[in-house]
């Protein structure tokens, strides 16, 4: 057991679920649609070029915590040289395509369920903290698809249950209060240094960085692990 810790707060995407698979599929689908759209507007670009640019753009938006896909597409298309205004209907279709493809391809990591069961059996309270997908209700719908959700004592969708998203400490503190724990009794597990770890530290919580990839942004955590299964040696 981790001394003085009552509750374990976990992030969802890329922490419990293999968001890479979801992201890749979503970017593929959208790149195909953008390719077609640009061609219809006289811009001929290799689909692979569009995919690569979209992937870079997606990562950049994640770092800047700009989650509203509706705002992405006009900016991205303008970057490809499109002069015309992108109709609202097209924007909505692209966002819908992105999220439905993402949800279908986004699977839990194999060690997610067993590790969550282990944490519960150890007597910790379990909390899920995840940022909104901007479309109201969409994130909750995505969350409910996972069987492991029944293991959680409380869920906070930041940006919906509370206006602030990570790295604000507020959603972390809201989840702690739902779990009946003080900030000092919580440890946060997340994959993103600039949202999960930064926010948890601002809330006064202990931190475990699950290093799925290098973001090129440093934020010192109490522990660094490379897989969920490694939580067994800390918790
Ligand atoms: Mg994440």
The string of pLDDT tens digits covering residues 148-181 is: 999 999 999 999 999 999 999 999 999 999 999 9
Res 140: pLDDT: 92
pLDDT value, residue 135: 83
| Gap between the Cα atoms of 191 and 15, Å rounded | 6
Give dist(CA 21, CA 162) in Å, integer.
29
For residue 141, the CA-to-ligand 1 centroid distance in Å is 17
Q: Ligand 1 centre from 137 Cα, in Å?
A: 18
pLDDT score of 136 more than 90? no
User: How far does the centroid of ligand 1 lie from the alpha carbon of residue 43, in Å?
Assistant: 35
User: In which band, very low, low, confident or very high, does the pLDDT at 217 lie, cut at 50, 70 and 90?
Assistant: confident
pLDDT at 133: 87
Residue 216 has pLDDT above 90, yes or no: no
pLDDT at residue 138 in the model = 87
For residue 90, how far is its CA from the centre of ligand 1 (angstroms)?
Answer: 28
Judged on CB neighbours under 10 Å (0-12, 13-18, 19+), 129 is buried
pTM of the model as a whole: 0.85
Neighbours of ion ligand 1 (CB under 5 A): 11, 13-15, 191
CA of 192 to the centre of ligand 1 (A): 6
DSSP string covering 35-87 = HHHHHHTT----HHHHHHHHHHHHHHHHHTT---HHHHHHHHHHHTT--SPPP
CA–CA gap between residue 74 and residue 57 (Å, rounded): 12
Ligand 1 center–CA 91 separation, angstroms:
25
Taking only the tens place, the pLDDT of each residue in 72-125 is 999 999 999 999 999 999 999 999 999 999 988 999 999 999 999 999 999 999
d(CA 144, CA 146): 5
Share of the chain above pLDDT 90, in %: 88
Q: H-type helices in 64-196, by residue range? A: 69-79, 88-105, 112-121, 138-144, 170-178
pLDDT number for residue 205: 98
CB count in 10 Å sphere of residue 22: 22
100: which residues sit within 8 A by CB, 6+ positions away? none
d(CA 39, CA 41) in angstroms, rounded, equals 5
Ligand 1 centroid vs 47 CA: distance in angstroms? 27
β-strand 7-10 against 154-158: which pairing, if any?
A: unpaired
Distance 15 CA to ligand 1 centre (A): 5
pLDDT bucket at 30, cuts 50 / 70 / 90 = very high
């Amino acid at each position: 057991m981790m001394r003085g810790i009552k509750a374990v707060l976990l992030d969802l995407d890329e922490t419990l679920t293999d968001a890479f698979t979801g992201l890749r599929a979503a970017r593929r689908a959208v790149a195909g649609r953008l390719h077609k759209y640009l061609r219809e507007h006289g811009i001929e670009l290799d689909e692979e070029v569009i995919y690569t640019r979209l992937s870079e753009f997606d990562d950049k938006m994640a770092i800047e915590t700009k989650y509203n896909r509706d705002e992405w597409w006009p900016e991205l298309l303008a970057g490809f040289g499109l002069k015309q205004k992108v109709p609202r209907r097209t924007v909505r279709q692209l966002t819908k395509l992105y999220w439905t493809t993402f949800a279908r391809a986004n699977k839990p990591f194999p060690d997610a369920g067993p590790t969550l069961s282990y944490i519960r059996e150890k007597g910790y309270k379990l909390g899920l903290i995840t940022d909104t997908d901007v479309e109201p209700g969409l994130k909750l719908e995505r969350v409910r698809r996972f069987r492991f959700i029944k293991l959680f004592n409380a869920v906070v969708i930041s940006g919906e249950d509370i206006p602030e998203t990570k790295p604000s400490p507020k959603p972390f503190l809201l989840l702690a209060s739902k779990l009946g724990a003080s900030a000092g009794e919580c440890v946060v597990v997340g994959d993103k240094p600039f949202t999960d770890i930064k926010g948890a530290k601002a809330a006064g919580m202990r931190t475990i960085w699950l290093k799925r990839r290098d973001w090129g942004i440093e934020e010192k955590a109490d522990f660094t692990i490379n897989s969920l299964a490694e939580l067994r040696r800390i918790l």
